[in-house]
């Protein structure tokens, strides 16, 4: 059983390490208002300090994986709609959604509803095949002679 308490927020350096984005890329995402962290504190004589929540880091890590695969159009709008629809991501929460890219648009996939383009809210027509399940069915059906 886990007894350590998870941090409430992460500094930009910690968020960069956990998300696999560079600190400079995180600054760019904030400066262009593509990804805004949930926690912003103003400190006298030091300006604004951005702190990243657990949910911010989870979403950034997912985005990093997606961005490694190619370009995403309208990312700012899609992220805003995702965050408004789903609220904060908390440690230990059961997540039954997948983020995916279809035609350079960020989509969310749920087993019950299928894939939906985040920016427009339109459902997309795509096929998802669980290769583990298909492989198990084939393996059960195949008899190998000794």
For residues 2 and 96, give the distance between their C-alpha atoms in angstroms, rounded to a whole number. 22
Give the model's pLDDT for residue 4.
Answer: 58
Over its length of 146 residues, how does the chain's per-residue pLDDT go in tens digits? 455 567 778 889 999 999 999 999 999 999 998 888 887 766 666 667 788 988 899 999 998 988 887 788 888 898 888 888 888 888 877 788 888 888 888 888 887 888 888 888 888 876 666 677 777 777 776 665 65
Q: What is the pTM of this model?
A: 0.72
For residues 51 and 44, give the distance between their C-alpha atoms in angstroms, rounded to a whole number. 16
Exposure string of 14-41, with b = 16+ CB inside 10 Å and e = fewer, is: ebbebbebeeebbeebbeeeebebbeee
């Amino acid at each position: 059983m886990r007894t350590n308490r998870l941090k409430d927020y992460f500094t930009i350096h910690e968020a960069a390490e956990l998300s696999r984005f560079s600190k400079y890329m995180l600054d760019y995402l904030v400066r262009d208002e593509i990804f805004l962290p949930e926690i912003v504190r103003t400190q006298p004589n030091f300006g604004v300090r951005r702190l990243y929540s657990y949910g911010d880091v989870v979403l950034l890590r997912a985005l990093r994986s997606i961005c490694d695969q190619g370009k995403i159009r309208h990312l700012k709008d899609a992220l805003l709609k995702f965050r408004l629809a789903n609220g904060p991501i908390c440690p230990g929460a059961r997540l039954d959604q997948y983020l995916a890219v279809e035609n350079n648009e960020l989509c969310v996939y749920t087993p019950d509803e299928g894939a939906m383009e985040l920016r427009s809210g339109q459902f997309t027509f795509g096929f998802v095949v669980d290769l583990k399940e298909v492989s198990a069915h084939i393996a059960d059906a195949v008899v190998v002679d000794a």
